[in-house]
Chains A and B, each alone.
Chain A
Amino acid sequence: MAHVDRQAWDVVVVGAGGAGLRAAIEAREAGMRTAVICKSLFGKAHTVMAEGGIAASMGNVNERDNWQVHFRDTMRGGKFLNQWRMAELHAREAPDRVWELETWGALFDRTKDGRISQRNFGGHEYPRLAHVGDRTGLELIRTLQQKIVSLQQEDEREFGAYDARLKVFQECTVTRVLKTDGRVSGTFCYERESGRFFVLEAPAVVLATGGIGKSFKVTSNSWEYTGDGHALALLAGAPLINMEFVQFHPTGMVWPPSVKGILVTESVRGDGGVLRNSDGKRFMFDYIPDVFKEKYAQSEEEGDRWYDDPENNRRPPELLPRDEVARAINSEVKAGRGSPHGGVFLDVSTRMPAEVIKRRLPSMHHQFKELADVDITAEPMEVGPTCHYVMGGVDVDPDTAAATGVPGLFAAGEVAGGMHGSNRLGGNSLSDLLVFGRRAGLYAAEYAASIADRTPADPLQIDAAEAEALRPFSAEGEHRQTSRDPGPAENPYTLHQELQQSMNDLVGIIRKEGEMREALDRLAGLRVRARRAGVEGHRQYNPGWHLSLDLRNMLLVSECVARAALEREESRGGHTRDDHPVMDRHWRNINLVCELADPQGERTDADPALGQIRLSRRETPPIRPDLLGLFEKDELLKYLTDEELSR
Chain B
Amino acid sequence: MSAQQEVKQSAAYLAQFRVWRGDPDGGGLEDFKVEVNEGEVVLDIIHRLQATQAPDLAVRWNCKAGKCGSCSAEINGRPRLMCMTRMSVFGRDETITITPMRAFPVVRDLVTDVSFNYTKAREVPSFVPPAGVAPGEYRMRQEDVNRSQEFRKCIECFLCQNTCHVVRDHEENKGAFAGPRFLMRIAELDMHPLDAAPASGLDRKATAQDEHGLGYCNITKCCTEVCPENIKITDNALIPLKERAADRKYDPLVWLGNKIRRRE
| A–B: direct contact at CB < 8 Å | yes
Besides A44-B156, A256-B39, A491-B55, 11 new A-B residue pairs in contact (Cβ under 8 A), listed by A number:
A40-B60, A41-B114, A44-B69, A105-B126, A115-B139, A257-B37, A370-B66, A373-B88, A536-B56, A542-B56, A544-B56
Does chain B have a CB within 8 A of A428? Answer: no
Which A residues touch B39, using CB under 8 A? 255-259, 372
Does chain A have a CB within 8 A of B254? Answer: no
Does chain B have a CB within 8 A of A46? Answer: yes
Which of B38, B56, B69 counts the most chain A CB atoms within 10 A?
B56
Do B142 and A222 touch across chains, with their CB atoms under 8 A apart? no
Q: A107's contact among B38, B56, B70, B192, by CB below 8 Å, is which?
A: B192
The 5 closest A-B pairs by CB, nearest first: A256-B39, A537-B56, A105-B127, A150-B126, A114-B139
Does chain B have a CB within 8 A of A113? Answer: yes
Q: A541's contact among B37, B86, B111, B189, by CB below 8 Å, is which?
A: B111
Residue in A closest to B121 when the chains form the complex, CB atoms: A149
B258 to chain A, nearest CB (A): 26
Which B residues touch A259, using CB under 8 A? 39, 41, 64-65
Which B residues touch A493, using CB under 8 A? 50-51, 55
Q: List 21 A-B contacts (CB under 8 A).
A: A40-B62, A40-B70, A46-B63, A102-B138, A113-B139, A114-B139, A114-B140, A114-B141, A139-B152, A193-B107, A224-B62, A256-B40, A367-B66, A371-B84, A491-B55, A493-B50, A493-B51, A494-B51, A540-B23, A541-B107, A541-B111
A400 to chain B, nearest CB (A): 23
Q: A371's contact among B41, B58, B122, B129, by CB below 8 Å, is which?
A: B41
Do B142 and A536 touch across chains, with their CB atoms under 8 A apart? no
Which A residues touch B55, using CB under 8 A? 491-493, 535-537, 543-544
Do B84 and A370 touch across chains, with their CB atoms under 8 A apart? yes
Please list the residues of chain B having a beta carbon within 8 angstroms of any beta carbon in chain A.
4, 8, 23, 37-41, 44, 50-51, 55-70, 84, 86, 88, 107-109, 111, 113-114, 118, 121-122, 125-127, 129, 135-136, 138-142, 145, 148-149, 152-156, 189, 192, 195, 230
Q: How many of chain A's residues touch chain B, expressed as a range?
A: 35 or more
Do B67 and A363 touch across chains, with their CB atoms under 8 A apart? yes
A384 to chain B, nearest CB (A): 14
In the assembled complex, the Cα of A262 lies from the Cα of B122 at a distance in Å of 32
Binary per-residue interface labels of chain A (374-415) against chain B in the complex, 1 for a CB within 8 Å, 0 otherwise: 000000000000000000000000000000000000000000
Does chain B have a CB within 8 A of A146? Answer: yes
B110 to chain A, nearest CB (A): 10
In the assembled complex, the Cα of A114 lies from the Cα of B142 at a distance in Å of 7
Do B135 and A110 touch across chains, with their CB atoms under 8 A apart? no
Does chain B have a CB within 8 A of A223? Answer: yes
Which A residues touch B64, using CB under 8 A? 222, 259, 262
Which B residues touch A138, using CB under 8 A? 67, 152-153, 155
Do B86 and A44 touch across chains, with their CB atoms under 8 A apart? no
Tell which of A93-101, A181-189, A477-485 binds the partner. Answer: A93-101
Does chain B have a CB within 8 A of A43? Answer: yes
A111 to chain B, nearest CB (A): 8
Binary per-residue interface labels of chain A (10-50) against chain B in the complex, 1 for a CB within 8 Å, 0 otherwise: 00000000000000000000000000000011111010110
Q: B149's contact among A103, A107, A256, by CB below 8 Å, is which?
A: A107
Do A107 and B140 touch across chains, with their CB atoms under 8 A apart? yes
In the assembled complex, the Cα of A190 lies from the Cα of B164 at a distance in Å of 33
In the assembled complex, the Cα of A104 lies from the Cα of B135 at a distance in Å of 10
In the assembled complex, the Cα of A647 lies from the Cα of B141 at a distance in Å of 51
Q: B127's contact among A150, A256, A494, by CB below 8 Å, is which?
A: A150
In the assembled complex, the Cα of A49 lies from the Cα of B68 at a distance in Å of 8
